[in-house]
Chain A
Amino acid sequence: MAFRKYFYVLRIALSERLVYRTDFFLSTLMRFAPMVTTILLWRAIYHVDESPAAGSGGEPTRFDGLTYENVVAYYLLTFVSRAFSSMPGLAGGIARDVREGTIQKYLIQPIDQVYYLMMTRVAHKLVYYGVSAVPFAIAFYLLRGFFGGWPEPVMLAGGIASLVLAFFLGFFFEVTIGMISFWFLEISSLLFIVMSLNYFLSGHMVPLDLLPGGLRTVLEWLPFQYLAYFPAKMLLGTPDVTPAALGRGLITQLGWVLLFIALSRFLYRRGLRRYSAFGG
């Protein structure tokens, strides 16, 4: 069946990526460095060291339902969601292939470009997880005091499901953007704008719970929160995260994934038609 060739692609890509394992390890370690300033900044925002209530065992300060510990735990969890949903170089790579004509190599082979890219991404992620498991474990162990305990089994399963969906959402979203390069050869500026906005809109920069109501409502309608905020929040397990909310969120997330699969496919077919018209 056709699947065997994609498995082969996966194996090759895996061995390719393993070459970079030291690089991954170091860069993952460094990626956690900003957590230090995050912890210190939010400690100051919550006045943890000044508040008399904190010492006497009173009710901890909450902003929009989140305590200081929740916020720090949330940030750490966004590292996990970003590990699933970020696709560095994917859109840019597609644009480069279109621009330089190297897209030919996919067209003359009996292999679908998007599936090929997905296999290489899966390989990349597997190596990345394997290598960064240790830094992640260290970080979670050091910061275990910020977590209230393990999530309930239902929420944990749902959280993992949302992480897998975040991978597909991130993947097909970037592929869709990459497809735009069939029409505008240079998409690096668009990409930069999207990525800058994504950092904020996905909840990576600040937990979306803290945003003012109007802005929050707008973001509810966008797919970005499912790349970081939603999986992190599900795994965080604050009281407002009910199984019902989990279910609703997962369905919406799946909806976005399907939308971007369809959109990327549509743009790909249209783009190829236009591309071959160039006589490239």
Chain B
Amino acid sequence: MQSLARYARLYASFLRIGLMQEMSFRGNFLIRVGTELLWFIVLCIFYDVIYRKTNSIAGWSRFEYLVLVGTHFIATGLIETFFMAGFGDLAEKVRSGKLDFALAKPVDEQFLLTMQMMDWATFTNVIYGLGMVVFSLSKLGVVPSIGAVAVYLVTLTAGLALFYSLMVMLSVSAVWLIRNQHLYEMWFYVNVFARFPPDIFVGPLGSPLRWLTTFILPVLLAVAIPAEALSKGLRQPGLAVYSVVAAIAFLAISRWVFRWALRHYRSASS
């Protein structure tokens, strides 16, 4: 059993090395940061356009909605910075057979394969998102209590854990599907529902979708619950608990899937 401290030190070196590597291609790094900013601005314009036409969307006022949008940026920014490169790399390693090198190292494979590679350029999304959240809270005149912030952090982490687990399972499917070029497209579909307040999912089309993405694959809770807790207080605290429980369950499921896939891979290559 490896010590936690050892993993922490290893991870710190991943962070440092990743940043150094990216900064050595400074021009490329700056351009990527610029394009992420551009995308953020385009989205700000989009919501500005919409909120000039109406004052609320499904009960969410302009700045309440922006807290959700900002939280979505934080969540996707964190996944894209710390894990996304690893997921893509994992799929590639499976296809090229280089997975063996990672499996031979004396470290937990899932840690190594999903957490070693960084993409620091997308970390700016976290900063933009944070800025948007803080700005919107000030416009709402809301100063969140310690409790609200704590709920925000816990449920956001649960959302991140859910996204992480889903992406692990998708990227590891390269083991038997072999054709996995659409990883970023998959990531889009994983987080697309999380961009919206659950309240817009109504009617014969929306209701079943809402149920599915709240209770079976709780992506709808990942961003909306923390945003709601921070901006206007949770209406259904039970959902926050469910979100955390589901996150833990999905982490366990994805770890099982991961190990199962590796066993399948090992037997295939030998």
Contacts and interface: CB of A to CB of B under 8 A. Distances in A.
A197 B196 contact: no
A83 B203 CA distance: 30
Contacts of B206: 40
B46 A205 contact: yes
B209 interface: yes
A196 B42 contact: yes
A193 B33 CA distance: 11
Interface stretch (A44-52, A149-157, A163-171): A44-52
A215 B200 CA distance: 29
Contacts of A41: 57, 196, 200
A212 interface: yes
Given A37-B196, A44-B58, A49 B35 contact: no
B205 A189 contact: no
A46 B38 CA distance: 28
A216 to B, nearest CB: 11
A193 B38 contact: yes
A196 B39 contact: yes
A277 interface: no
Contacts of B39: 196
Contacts of A197: 38, 42
In this complex, the interface size class of chain A, counting residues with CB under 8 Å from chain B, is 20 to 34
B177 interface: no
B95 to A, nearest CB: 17
A192 B34 CA distance: 11
Interface string B164-190: 000000000000000000100100010
A19 interface: no
B201 interface: yes
A30 B189 CA distance: 9
Interface residues of B, number: 32
A210 B28 CA distance: 35
A211 interface: yes
Nearest to B202: A49
A63 interface: yes
B45 A200 contact: yes
Q: Which label, helix, strand, loop or mixed, suits the secondary structure of the A interface?
A: helix
B52 to A, nearest CB: 7
Given A30-B189, A63-B53, A189-B28, A49 B45 contact: no
A17 interface: no
B243 to A, nearest CB: 20
A211 B35 contact: no
A193 B35 contact: yes
Contact of B205 (A30, A36, A49, A215): A36
A196 B209 CA distance: 29
Interface in B191-243: 192-193, 195-196, 199-203, 205-206, 209
A199 interface: yes
A37 B192 contact: yes
A205 B193 CA distance: 17
Contacts of B46: 200, 205-206
Contacts of B200: 37, 40-41, 43-44
A34 interface: yes
A232 B206 CA distance: 26
Nearest to A41: B200
A39 B205 contact: yes
A60 to B, nearest CB: 14
Given A36-B209, A44-B58, A189 B32 contact: yes
A205 B42 contact: yes
A39 B204 CA distance: 12
Contact of B31 (A63, A189, A199): A189
29 contacts: A33-B189, A37-B195, A37-B196, A39-B205, A40-B196, A40-B200, A40-B202, A41-B200, A43-B200, A43-B202, A44-B57, A44-B58, A44-B199, A45-B53, A45-B57, A46-B54, A49-B202, A63-B53, A189-B31, A189-B35, A196-B35, A196-B39, A196-B42, A197-B38, A200-B46, A205-B46, A206-B49, A212-B52, A215-B45
Interface of B: 28, 31-32, 34-35, 38-39, 42, 45-46, 49-50, 52-54, 57-58, 182, 185, 189, 192-193, 195-196, 199-203, 205-206, 209
Given A40-B205, A189-B28, 19 more contacts: A27-B182, A37-B195, A40-B202, A40-B203, A40-B206, A41-B196, A44-B58, A44-B199, A45-B50, A45-B57, A63-B53, A189-B35, A193-B31, A197-B38, A199-B42, A200-B46, A205-B46, A206-B50, A212-B52
